[in-house]
Structures are given as structure tokens and as C-alpha cells.
Amino acid sequence: MTRTYVLQLATACVIGLMALLSPSSYANTSITIEGNHFIRAGKPHQIISGSMDFQRIPRAYWQDRLQKARAMGLNAITTYVFWNAVEPKPGQFDFSDNNDVAAFVRMAQAQGLDVILRPGPYVCAEWEAGGFPAWLFADPHLHVRTQDPKYLQAVERYFQRLGKELAPLMASHGGPIVAVQVENEYGSYGDDRAYMEQIHQALIRAGFGADLMFTSDGADLLNNDALSGVLAVVNFGTGEAKGAFAKLKAFRPDQPKMAGEYWAGWFDHWGEPHAQTDANVQAKELAWMLSQGYSVNIYMFEGGTSFGFMNGANFQGNPSDHYAPQTTSYDYDAPLDEAGRPKPKFAKFRDVIAKATGIKPTPLPTPTSFMGVPAFTLTESASLWDNLPEPVTTEQPQPMEQFGQAYGYILYRTQLAGPVSGELYIGEVRDYAMVYVDRKLIGTVDRRLKQVSLPITLDAGPHTLDMLVENTGRINYGPHLADGRAGLVDPVLLDGKELHGWQTYALPMTSPDAIRGWTTQPVAGPAFHRGHFKITSTADTFLDVGAFSKGFAWVNGRNLGRIWDIGPQRSLYLPAPWLEQGDNTVVVFDLQTTKDAVVRGGTKQFWYRSDVKTPK
């Protein structure tokens, strides 16, 4: 560990302990509504918040990011809670390490920040399935975001458990949580007010009802999900503030006006150019909102990283739309970059806020250290074919969830008899398939491109058909969200005839520890590749993985996220707390044949240049 990191961690521990032992000295007061403005301690109050998802940021850096929020002039932090991360299996909860939301909330309080909580159950957030656990989709009769009793029962269990962590930290109890959102942008999905009231009451039963509660949606969708007696706030993008607030005024003239999400940036999809937005326009718009006395939540203050397989995907309902998975980086063109460093936008927003409030912002904390890592070669490889688990036999191919698997890859295998020539129909693959005959790649099927089949010709004799399917990210927004199954979801047909008798190999890719068969000889096809680099001190870096085609990377056993040569992302954020002084091990899984790939670390995110590389 670096000396800076040790000091940061020690300070965080001391502050967290102070908050635990002396809550009265950090006690908050509730924010209430009086007419068309917020009131706190008898005085009008303006909320100036920024969104930051604690589960997207390494825990060791939570304090650093919260200090930077104060340094930009924010008085509140808005955060989602990702249900799938805290309840990975039904009834099994994990609030440790990066899921310790209560610790994050206490840290925010110690920094003098209020917290606006967005617990879902659905959160969107460009996060896997919008935060829904994969196991919800194992039951074909369960319907998310409806009054389905099985779904509501699961939501109740989650809220009750979350309430044990956070209800004592509500502002009405002296904690920093001043407001709680009811569901999230439900108006863009449906208009069942009875469902919304069910979620509202479930939150109240869990202990979240004593302070402000609110719904949020786009300006034209407010009427779909707003609840009587519950604050309604509006979400909108750059250039839309005046129009959005005019519609909010018309909808709720006698309540406070607040932007639940002001999209001062945007996210990236695989195969599309990196998003870049106009900070000058956003700063002027923020200044206008604050001058009107409106409350604002800047989305995002810091986007962070969807580590592992936690990126989501968009898929709207119109016929011209397509499945569009997001990148691992959730940089969002936010005031802080993916690694928490202030961009020029930070200073512009800080100056606007300081002018509006008359409050001098606190200084920035000591900058986080970054380093380059000299190029090193991944000299060892191990074939995926030599690392398959025991299969499960089924008559028809089944979705990933039917095998108790949530994320990663899944291999479907069956036997064919040639000769035959025709179309291999796979259906709507979820989400990317590599198709092999006798371990030779014959083609790919990509859900993004609306591909459902490929031609196949077999010689006489027996053949083995393998379909290696990657869950590239469940849909987090749009009407297709309700069907979150991954893998193969349709019958497979060859020349119009249904194929039966499948062996299925679950490949959740949770750890590289059990990989066997390492060799320095070339390995064809999908494989793992391993290399090492040594450092004398730790610092943040970005691992350039441009040598690979499609897969993901582990460093010291932690999944940094996805790799895909269609861009725009070319490197993976590697935080210092996940590194070791001395030897560090990198393992990359790549769907294509790779030999002696070279990897290096840099001090900034590498993006493919859109004017040079055309997305495939």
C-alpha cells in the first residue's frame, strides 16, 4: 500500500468510528415541505446534490469522493442501492465490503452531506437488469414491476432487510438520509398507480416513511406514476431545464421544484463513440436553476465503474431500436472522471454553486496517485475446452437462470449427424454466441445486430455443435426489461428441424483460481491468458487491453470488467487498493485466439478514436 492510501484509509476509519460513537454531534434535522419550498430548521432550504453510486466505487475511495463532493459545493449525495448486489441469492444478503451502504451513509454524514436514497427495487442506472437480481427471472411466471404477489413478496423481503441497515439513519432519527425515492422512473414503463402505492407502503413498513419521499420521471411522464401526498421531481438532460420545470410547475404548482436527475453527461454503449457533452452549456443551465431557487441533483457527480459483469443494456420498444449494452466504464462525462479525478467541468460547477450560495467550498483532498505500468506479456494460456465443468443434460436448451447461474458465459452442446446443409436458427440469443462445429468456429450471432441464425454445412458423419453464449448485460431500460433471461431462450433449429439432447456447461467465471492446463504453447479458440507485473508501490492505473477481441480481465482475482474491440472503451480502471506491492497476476479470457498478448498500464482511460476505428 502507498503511504497516501494508508492515510486515507486510517482517516476514513477514524471518521466512521466518530460517527458511530457520537451520532449526536453529527445529528441531522429533517427537511420538510412548506408550500412551494423546502424547510430545514425553520428556514428555506435548497438541495444541491450529486449522484454517486457507492457500489461502483472501491470502498477505500468513498471518503475521497465524498470530500470532493463537499469541495464542489454540494450539500447532499444521491445514491442508488443495487438489489442484485446485496441479495445475490434469494434470502441471502451481503452488506459487507463494497455493499456496506450504512458505512457509506455514515461517511457522508461525517462529511456534512445529506443523503438521498434510491433503493429501487428497480433503479435503471445503466446497471445489470436495472438492479433486479437474476434469480427473479428464473421463474417464468414472476413479473417484475407489477402487482404480482411473488414479485412483491421478494421486494418486501429486500426492503425489510435494507431497513435494518438504514432506517436508523433517517434524518428523523438524527441520521443523514433526508429523502427516499419510491421506485424509479416508473412512468416511462407503466401507469399502474396501485403498484406504485404498493412500493410506497412497502418502504414505509421498512422504516423509510418518516422523512421526505418522492417519485421522479421525465416531464411528460409525471402523471403516470406520481402519488398523492408524495413529492414529484423531474428528470431531464442538457438544454431541457426551462421546459421541464415549466411542465413540473403545471403538474404540481404548489410543491417545491427539484431536478431529480439533471443529466450533465451521458453513458457509453459498446460499438458507439465515447460520449462528450458541453460543460459550458451545463454550467449556465445549473446557474439558472439555482438562481430560480430550484433544488438540483446532478446526475452523475461521479459515474465510477460497472466492475465485473454489472453493466446493463438499453432496448426501447420501437421497431427500429436494438439491444445496446453499455460499457464497463461509467465515466458519464461527469465532473469527476471514472477514477475520481476532477475534470474542467468540476471547476465550472463549483464556481456556479459558490456564486449561487455565497459559501466558499472546502479544499480538495490530496490527489490520488496514478502510475503507468511498463508493457508485459501474457505468456501462458489455457483452453476453455480443457476447463469445462460437469454438464447438465436437458432435452431443450434452457436459459442461464434455470441452472442457478446469474452472470458470465454458458456453453450449449449437442451432437449432429451429417451430411446436412441449411440454416442454424438460434433465435434471440442473450446476448452473443460463438458457434463451433467440432471446435472450429463457423460464425457468431450478435443480439445487437438482430442476428438469429447463420448458415451451416456438415460433411457426412457425427459432429459436435457448441454454442458459447455470453450474457453481455441484461436490459436496464425499456419494455424488454421484463424478460431478463440470459443464454438461449428459443428452440434451436437446423434446416427447420428442432435439435434435442443438450449438454449445458455453466461458466459463471467467478474466479481464475481453478483454471488448469496452463501452457506456453499456442492455444486456439476461446482461452484464458495469464501474465504478471511487479511494482514497488501501488497507485491507480488503467490497464490497456487493446490486444484482445472480446472477453474480460481479472487482476489478482478481481473482475475489472468487459473487453470488446468494437470500442469505445479500450482500457479497464484498476484501483490501487486492488494491487499488491510485488507480483500482480493478470488473467484475461478472450473469445478469439490470442498469443503472447502485450498489456500495459497508463494514467488515463484509453478510448478508441471514433475517427479512426469504425465500430463493428
* Residues forming the active site: 185, 261
Helix (H, G, I), strand (E, B) or coil at 591: coil
On whether the CB atoms of residues 140 and 93 are closer than 8 A, the answer is: no
Which among 104, 124, 123 is positioned nearest to 115, based on CA atoms? Answer: 104
CA angle 404, 409, 412 (to 5 degrees): 85
Q: How far apart, in whole angstroms, are the C-alpha atoms of residue 234 and residue 564?
A: 35
Strand-pairing partners, residue 51, are 78
Q: How far apart, in whole angstroms, are the C-alpha atoms of residue 132 and residue 88?
A: 10
On whether the CB atoms of residues 548 and 536 are closer than 8 A, the answer is: no
DSSP track, 112-168:
T-EEEEE--S---TTBGGGG--GGGGGSTT--TTS--HHHHHHHHHHHHHHHHHHGG
Amino acid at residue number 312: G
Q: What are phi and psi of 307, to 5 degrees?
A: -55, 160
Strand-pairing partners, residue 298, are 50, 262
Q: How far apart, in whole angstroms, are the C-alpha atoms of residue 76 and residue 66?
A: 10
Cell representation of residue 258: 427539484
3-state secondary structure 348-415: HHHHHHHHHHCCCCCCCCCCCCECCEEEEEECEEEEHHHHCCCCEEECCCCEHHHHCCCCCEEEEEEE
